[in-house]
Amino acid sequence: MTDLPSRIRSLGLLAAAAHLDDLVATATKKRWGPQQLLEYLADIEEKDRARRGLERRMARSRLERFKSMADFDWNWPKKIDRGLVESALRADFIESARNVVFVAPQGLGKTMIAQNIAHQAILAGHSVLFLSAAQLLLDLAGQESARALDRRLRYFAKIGLLVIDEIGFLAFDNRNADLLFQVVSRRYEKKSLVLTTNLAFRDWPTIFPNATCATALIDRVVHHADVIAIEGESYRKREAEQSAKSRRSPTKKRPG
């Protein structure tokens, strides 16, 4: 007798091969006809492939652990467009190749929101990559030949949603500015970007080699984009102050 699970697995029916005994037992018990059996088989395969696809997209996204939007304090920022944020969280902008840019000082949750957008995009079936500007440029600058660099640029260009975090934390030299410009240009009007930055656009020339370079990049980023500014005091600063205050509070003495 041939190894039926192996033959089924070789056809790509991984769920059926893994649960063949249970499948046969269920079909026998319920007295399924051929059509019912095939419909059940198709159903379990579709669910299993969807699960494996989700796991692959999550693994490739580089998205690490993050806080859910349920933990976001909407009342803390002095300024935030909640409607625009919630629209971005639905990830509908990806279908029309629009961009989303979060502009905020450190500690106001822009990275957290970007991570949640990335997660929703993954759940919706999009390929996603989440990385900082420094990680992106280190990856590109490390390519050993022009051909390898072009291949890597094509990889970053085809991802469904590319999230670049922390633009503005480090200044760019001419080489890195050119690499970032190439990534943005190759995705322009084709694929979506989510960017986070701690600098207003008027301040971008301070981190780029020249104003022309910054202007050209900004033009491509904001042409089809929702720019969401968040203003206020740092969450982390507030938490640190609350923690310090609780440590300074005298403990009540127990009655003797």
Query: What are the DSSP calls for 188-218, one per residue?
Result: TTTSEEEEEESS-GGGGGGTSSSHHHHHHHH
Say yes or no: 191 and 223 in one domain: yes
Same domain as 146, residue 73: yes
Average pLDDT over residues 59-88: 95
Give the pLDDT score at 127. 97
Per-residue pLDDT tens digits for 14-63: 998 998 999 999 999 999 999 999 999 999 999 999 999 999 999 999 99
Residue-level pLDDT at 256: 45
Together in a domain, 211 and 116: yes
Residue 85 pLDDT class (50, 70, 90 cuts): very high
The percent of residues above 90 in pLDDT, for the chain, comes to 81
Q: Tell me the average pLDDT across 75-82.
A: 95
**Residue 211 pLDDT:** 87
**Domain span at 219:** 69-238
In terms of domains, do 130 and 233 share one?
yes
Nearest CA to 100 out of 162, 157, 154, 153 is that of 162
What whole-number distance in Å separates Cα of residue 174 and Cα of residue 213? 9
Summarised one tens digit per residue, pLDDT across range 117-129 is 999 999 999 999 9
Kindly report the CATH number assigned to the domain that includes residue 220.
3.40.50.300
In a domain? residue 104: yes
Domain count, the chain: 2
Residue 179 lies in a domain: yes
The model's pLDDT over 173-210, given as tens digits with 9 standing for 90+, comes to 999 999 999 999 999 999 999 999 999 999 999 999 98
1 confidence band (pLDDT: 50, 70, 90) = very low
Model confidence band, residue 82 (pLDDT cutoffs 50, 70, 90): very high
186 with 212, same domain: the answer is yes
Share of the chain above pLDDT 70, in %: 91
pLDDT band of 251, cuts 50, 70, 90: low
In tens, the pLDDT along 141-163 reads 999 999 999 999 999 999 999 99
Weakest-pLDDT range from 59-68, 149-158, 246-255:
246-255
Asked whether residue 190 falls in the same domain as residue 128, the answer is yes
- State whether residue 235 is helix, strand or coil: helix
Q: What is the CA radius of gyration of the chain?
A: 25
Distance between CA 166 and CA 136 in Å, rounded? 11
Residue 107 falls in which region: left (phi positive, over 0), alpha (psi -120 to 50) or beta? left
Q: Where are the beta strands (DSSP E) in the chain?
A: 99-103, 128-132, 161-167, 192-197, 225-229
How crowded is the C-beta side of 229, counted as CA atoms within 13 Å?
7
**Residue 110 maps to a domain:** yes
Distance CA 136, CA 139 (A): 5
Residues 99 and 205 placed together within one structural domain of the fold:
yes
- At residue 242, the pLDDT reads 61
Give me the sheet containing 225-229, strands edge to edge.
Answer: 128-132, 161-167, 192-197, 99-103, 225-229
Same domain, 183 and 218: yes
State how far the Cα of 209 lies from the Cα of 214, in Å rounded to an integer.
8
φ and ψ of 108, to 5 deg:
-110, 10
